[in-house]
Structure 1
């Protein structure tokens, strides 16, 4: 396999000599050229472009002087322009130059990682995946425009659906009021749900995941804190309205066994995938999601929880690492066209205030979480802190940031013995 194409490089340079305006369409940098002489010629073409001067054989010869003689002199420039069969091939030849350049830089980067003496295989794999992601991003076609006609027709279809469905499109959350405030979980968004311990983060995640599964979506759950079987305990307790303690101990009453069996039949029909490996890196999560997305396009991703994810490489401080992780999760949502919901831990600063309802500043090791997240919600139970509260068995879901919608607080019934959240207008059967 060749890691350069002199013919493609010659064609790019020759095409610009024949049609100088092509230099304004080119996004190549001089380093993309393998041949040193070609690199120098292109550098001078760029300089002439910046100075708004004409790009032709004479101006380049005058500018390069002796350096051109090392390449082959004016006759080489003339030969370049004569060697181009058609300038219509400029884009395809430019793409070949770019692809060869990415292959060379990728190979160099891999060699550097290999010679770096990594002793941790996870860190080594993370570095390789990071290189692959960068090359993949850079190799995409540069065309990013869409015609307004196409965009507005899509807008019409979305607005029409909203009118007749009565709500914004998106993936439903566990609560009607929460749907109204957030506009539901939208594709390509990163949604952070944060709380102090014992507020019900994991229960909230599982309630949402089961609802999405029942609606026919494929659900991916990354549980970095709890093993798979503990999640099943919680899912079954919430689905069957069986006390979670009896599920955990196996002490089901005779009448609960039938309910348990019926609940299993419902849950097993859902397309839910759970990965409970501890200490996953963000690169491993992205790779797993990409693989699952290929088999199941209609996907939603849940992560428990953000601060347990590893960055996969060295960082100067933990804030930088968490910022890198949140940015990677946002990229994952966009590249897989799916919502990503990640739980997050709050700092102990909450406990020091009289009003213990969380605020943005309470996000632990926040890094760029505020910037990257499309929505940030906090879970709060007043009955956890205040025995005499009027809000017993109520969970407050405080939407503090919503890039595309409103903010506010949704309240739901919190049936703690089942780990179940319910709208107020629901009644147990």
Structure 2
């Protein structure tokens, strides 16, 4: 197949000269034309449209000025208007131009990937799959309108579901008050849970993963920091109410073996998948999630943690903020394209330690990039006894919801049973 179609490009331009209003329907951009002359002509048409000047041979000639001779002069513009078989085929010819552009883009991007020095076949496969998805999305009809009657019926179904199930849609957390504030982790959302090291981020993630598994969701966990055996230690300790240090050492007391066996049996029934490969790129994560989504429609994704994800070989260590921004926007896209919640842990910078009030703020997100912009919810975990040995809030975690795109903000409190790595409700919330 040819990477361009001369006749289709001519027909698109000629149709607009014959019927100027078609410029308002066109979904093409200047760069999507293969021929440089056609790019210039279409660019002049767009310029006239933006100036609200009618398009014809005279106005085009005046707009193009010196470039007119470069494209063949007035005679070529007249030739374009005479080469149109039928204006009614405008959309078909425009589609051909678009498809050829996507072919050229795909081939060029493949060559760039091959020339980028990627030497990991898994990263190469993920990059190519990402490209495939991108081209597929672009090749779909650009008319994304849905008639209100369709949306209203879907809304009615959703209201009925809430009425009979008695709860908001989305994946619930282990915090009853936290759910009340956030409205749960909804599909197609990126949810950031951030804290300083050793505050309890991973334990919170695992508690929620088990909760969602028990609710019937398929759970995907990407553990970039910790091997899967350590995750099993923590999940078993929390599920069985056994001291985590004894689980880790395998030194269970006699009365704990029965709890261990029962807990192990319950956990093994849950639909939880763990990928503990270190140094994963965001393309590899998206690829893995797409595959799992095909098998398991009701999915939630957890990532521990965001700043350990790589943006791919095109980023260097010198532009880490830009890379993290690319990663956060990619995770948001992943949530939307797979119709699932994505929950990513994030580290906070040391600036927290320099303030008298150690409660985290948005500016404390390390290498924040576009995290604040991309996230639908941002929840900070704060332990007062982490900083103040005399704190009255022993073993109390504050869940500070600082951003909630579709709901309220506020603070919920939970009890952190540190020996078990377990979060339990405290029934105290401050909702704004």
Using the size of structure 1 for normalisation, the TM-score is: 0.88
1:80-95 alignment runs, 5 A limit = 80-81=83-84, 83-84=85-86, 87-95=87-95
- Which whole-Å deviations, capped at 9, do the CAs of 1:173-198 have from their partners, x for residues lacking one? 11111110111001111111111122
Pair 1:289-2:289 in alignment: yes
1:319-338 alignment runs, 5 A limit = 319-338=321-340
Query: What is the Cα deviation at residue 116 of structure 1?
Result: 4.5
- Which whole-Å deviations, capped at 9, do the CAs of 1:148-187 have from their partners, x for residues lacking one? 3333333344344445544322110111111101110011
Pair 1:171-2:171 in alignment: yes
1:124-273 alignment runs, 5 A limit = 128=128, 131-132=131-132, 134-273=134-273
Q: Output the CA distance in 1 between the equivalents of 2:406 and 2:132.
A: 32
Query: What is the Cα deviation at residue 237 of structure 1?
Result: 1.2
Pair 1:77-2:80 in alignment: yes
Using the size of structure 2 for normalisation, the TM-score is: 0.87
Moved more, 32-41 or 331-340: 32-41
Query: What is the Cα deviation at residue 221 of structure 1?
Result: 0.3
Moved more, 96-105 or 142-151: 142-151
- Cα RMSD (Å): 2.8
Contact 2:18 2:81 in 1 (8 A): no
Partner of 2:414: 412
Q: Output the CA distance in 1 between the equivalents of 2:52 and 2:380.
A: 55
1:333-344 alignment runs, 5 A limit = 333-344=335-346
Contact 2:193 2:381 in 1 (8 A): yes
Partner of 1:31: 31
SS for the counterpart of 1:13 is: helix
Is the alpha carbon distance of 1:65 and 1:369 closer, same or farther for their aligned partners in structure 2, counting shifts above 3 Å? closer
Partner of 1:275: 275
Query: What is the Cα deviation at residue 145 of structure 1?
Result: 2.2
Unaligned stretches of 5+ residues in structure 2: 428-432
Query: What is the Cα deviation at residue 113 of structure 1?
Result: 3.7
Q: Output the CA distance in 2 between the equivalents of 1:352 and 1:39.
A: 55
Contact 1:193 1:378 in 2 (8 A): yes
Partner of 1:402: 404
Q: Output the CA distance in 1 between the equivalents of 2:365 and 2:14.
A: 56
Is the alpha carbon distance of 1:385 and 1:40 closer, same or farther for their aligned partners in structure 2, counting shifts above 3 Å? closer
- Which whole-Å deviations, capped at 9, do the CAs of 1:342-378 have from their partners, x for residues lacking one? 1111122323334332222222222221121111111
Unaligned stretches of 5+ residues in structure 1: none
